[in-house]
Structures are given as C-alpha cells and as structure tokens.
Amino acid sequence: MTRYSFPDGFLWGAAASGPQTEGTAGKPHCSIWDSWFSEQPERFYQQTGPQRVCETYTRYQDDVALMKQTGFNSFRTSIQWSRLIDDFETGEPNADAVRFYHAYLDEMIANGIEPMINLYHFDMPEVLQKKYGGFESAHVAELFSRFARTAFTLFGHKVKYWITFNEPIVPVEGGYLYDFHYPCKQDGKLAAQVAFNIMLAHAKAVQVFRELMGSGEIGVVLNLTPTYTRSDSAEDKKAAWYADLLFNRSFLDPLVKHQFPKALCELLAFHHCLPDTTPEDVRLITDSRIDFLGVNYYVPRRVQARESAYTLDYFSPEYYFENYVDPNGRFNPYRDNNEILPVAVYDIARNIRDNYGNIKWYLAEIGIAMDLESEGPVQADGVIDDGFRIGLMEEHLVQLHHAIRDGANCFGVHQWTFIDNWSWINAFKRRYGFYRLDLETGERQIKRNALWFRELALSNQFSTEERPS
C-alpha cells in the first residue's frame, strides 16, 4: 500500500448548483430551465424537470448535517439569479431569497464548512433570455454585474471564495452549437458573441468585487478538457491544436493570461464569426484578474484530422477535427462509454503550471457517473455499494498527488456531487452523489463512497495499492 497525503489546509468537499438542487419553491422568477421544461418536457429524460429535485430550499439544515458527517470542510453551490433578484434591471433582491441564502450560508459556517459561491450555473433568467437574448446582449452582461453587486453586498462578509461562472463555454456549446441548452440555436457567430459577452459579464463582476470587497477571493470554474491525438502525424496534431484553441484556450487565455489568442481571432474572422466588441470591453476582460481557477474534469477529448467533408451550414469547431475513439481506451460502461483517463488530471495540472503562471487552482468538479442499476440496492449494512466509483476516484487522486508533488498549485478537491441531483436534460439518468436521492420520498441514502471520502477528508490522506495510470 502507498499513502498519499495532501497539503495542510487542503479543501475537501463537493460541488452542486442552485438550479440542480434547490427546487423552484419560493422563486420569484423562472430560469430558462424552469420555462424550457414547461414548454418542452419531452426534451428531458423521463420528463423530469427542476421543480422539486433535492428540495434544498426546505431541507438544507439536514443536508448541511450530512455534509459535516461526510467530512466536508467546504462546499460549492450557486446562488440563482432568478431567485435572488426581484428586479433584474436594478438588482433589487427578493426578501425571501435573502432569508434563504443567509440561513443556508449560516448553517454551513456554523458546521465548519467553507461556502464557495458561484453566481452562474447555466441558469439565465427566462425574461432576460426572451427579452434580450440572454448573453447575446451586452446589456445582460451589465445586468449580471448588478446581480453580482447585490450578492457581494449581502453575503460578502460570509463568503470567502466567489466564482463568477461555472463552465462558461457550456452554455455556448449547449445553447448555440449543439442543441442541449435553451435557446437551442445553432449559429457560430452568435456562439462567439455569447462567449465574449459571458467573459464581459465575468470581468464586470470581478470589477465590482474589487470595488466593494476588501477581502475574499474571486475566480472562475472552467471545464478543461485536455486534447489527445490519434497519432503523431502533423495533421492529427494540428487537429488537436485547433480543438485546444477552441475549447480550452478560448476562455483560459483571456481570463488567466490576459490575452485573446491571435489565432482564435483570425479563425473567427475567417469564418465571419468575430463578435461585436468595443476596445473598452476587450480591455476590461484582459485587464481583469482572478485570484484562483476552478477546474472541472470528467473526460478527455481525442481527435483526429478530418477525413470526411464538413457539411454543416454554420461554423462549429468540428470544422477543424473529428472526434476519435481510442481502440485501447478504458471506458465507463455506465456513462455513454465515456473514456476514463486519470492521467489527464496530471496533464491539466502540468499545463496550468507551465503555461498559465502556475495560478492557484482547485479541482472544482470530478465525478464518476453510474446509473441506479449499476450502483445496486442498499446493502445489508445500510450502504449502497459504489466501489467502482471509489476505485476511479483513487486513480484520479493519485494523479493529482503526483501533480502536486511536481509543483502544481492545487488547493482542494470537490467531487461532483453531494446528493444525486438533476442534471439538465439528462435529469436523473446518471447518478454522481455521495448520497442517493430517492425520487419518490426525497430520502437520502448513503453510498460507500461517502464513507471512503470521510476518511480521506478528515485524515487528509488515503492509502491504496500502486495503480496503473
């Protein structure tokens, strides 16, 4: 057995989000998820929507007790724009939401759990999407900063770690390229515009944070998907370079390196997709500075040079590559045969260390999807046996440990997720939680991973056999 210890003060916990856990009770407005579900329930797995989900809005006290029992010293969730704000133009808050978020934060703090609060987890208020096109409009970036101002003013003294956006590229992909988020458009130029305006919203929120807050830290959570090639041929390597440029560097470079990649601007211009911008807004983004980066990692990306013609009538990143499945890869049979590649965690850490000034970062989401059948029933000892998940978590954490040994500036790990939660159009198709959610009763049932994690978090170390990577 080998023992893997983590640096003192390492953050251990889980990540979740408001729209995936709270339920819609008490909300003054709909988000696009609430309204899209009522318009097209057939787009959602088993026609399950976001109305009840984990019912955190009413069950938060018991849930925080469970967090403590699982050894968490920190927890990320998000404040819903469509709950906190009554008037989107002024940023005027909703009294009941203020009460709820204070109570939830107080409960965490009283139990020794550091709240990490995100402001946007894919949940555009419906009215802003329908009136202005959401982040298609720079005005909505400004409104986001008013929401952020309200949140910092109300909760800034309770929250040390703030996050502007979770996976800002995902609403671009889902809403404007690949049709899995509302408004389900497929339009390369709009996609680039939305990406730019999200960065603008981020920068404006950071600006407000610097103006208001004397302490605390602010960052952004990016889903960094390292790209691997089919072969070492120049064509395949070029394909991987483009995928990395479009999916990783598009946000990483402006937000961490303070520059828009020249090649990206040229590429967008070539496809007539350059967003409308002003020099002031570009400067606001590149001047803005984050204190830390969050990184979400689930799967690697593998690409090859295109072999078939590109047939879409709008620009999409696949113009430059085709996806490639490694015939020797390991795959998760419970998650669309997604590839399992723990060494990618090491590669992400190395990239941040070598190319992004070794900025302070934490693993903000890592999770192993299983379905109910594969997790199986509650065992005689009252625990659901998700050993498959524990084994894979160990393998990924061994890689993180190697990275820290080699100089990665990583300060914590949050597993996705705490209690099985509602995952957008996939609803409850795949489970990720430390606790199973019984959809009928709302009961939380413990999985073995929670017991394993408690030991890890409380001792700040774990032991395992040396594992292949």
Active site residues: 167, 365
DSSP-derived secondary structure letter, 335: T
CB of 15 to ligand FCB, least distance (A): 8
Token pair 């909703």 is found at 94
Which pair of tokens denotes residue 200?
Answer: 């603008």
Interacting span for ligand FCB (CB under 6 A) from 33-41, 196-204, 284-292, 416-424: 416-424
Considering only 12, 14, 17, 420, the residue that binds ligand FCB (CB under 6 A) is 17
> E strands along 254-404, which residues?
292-297, 301-304, 322-323, 330-332, 338-340, 361-366
Task: Return the number of the residue (51 or 153) whose C-beta is nearest ligand FCB.
Answer: 51
Considering only 63, 126, 167, 395, the residue that binds ligand FCB (CB under 6 A) is 167
Strand order, beta sheet including 322-323: 227-229, 301-304, 322-323
CB of 134 to ligand FCB, least distance (A): 18
Task: Return the number of the residue (109 or 439) whose C-beta is nearest ligand FCB.
Answer: 439
- The residues in 270-309 that bind ligand FCB, with binding defined as CB under 6 A, are 296
CB of 295 to ligand FCB, least distance (A): 11
CB of 446 to ligand FCB, least distance (A): 20
Query: C-alpha dihedral over 198, 203, 208, 210, to 10 degrees?
Result: 150
Q: Is 166 in the site for ligand FCB (CB under 6 A)?
A: yes
Task: Return the number of the residue (227 or 423) whose C-beta is nearest ligand FCB.
Answer: 423
Q: Is 101 in the site for ligand FCB (CB under 6 A)?
A: no
The gap between the terminal CA atoms of the chain, to the nearest Å, is 16
Task: Return the number of the residue (120 or 260) whose C-beta is nearest ligand FCB.
Answer: 120
> E strands along 68-167, which residues?
74-78, 85-87, 92-93, 114-118, 161-166
Beta bridge partners, 118, equal 78, 163
Residue 32 near residue 92 (C-beta atoms within 8 A): no
Task: Return the number of the residue (45 or 241) whose C-beta is nearest ligand FCB.
Answer: 45
Which DSSP helix (H) or strand (E) runs through 191? helix 188-212
Considering only 78, 423, 445, 449, the residue that binds ligand FCB (CB under 6 A) is 423
Positions that interact with ligand FCB (CB under 6 A): 17, 20, 166-167, 223, 296, 365, 416, 423-424, 432
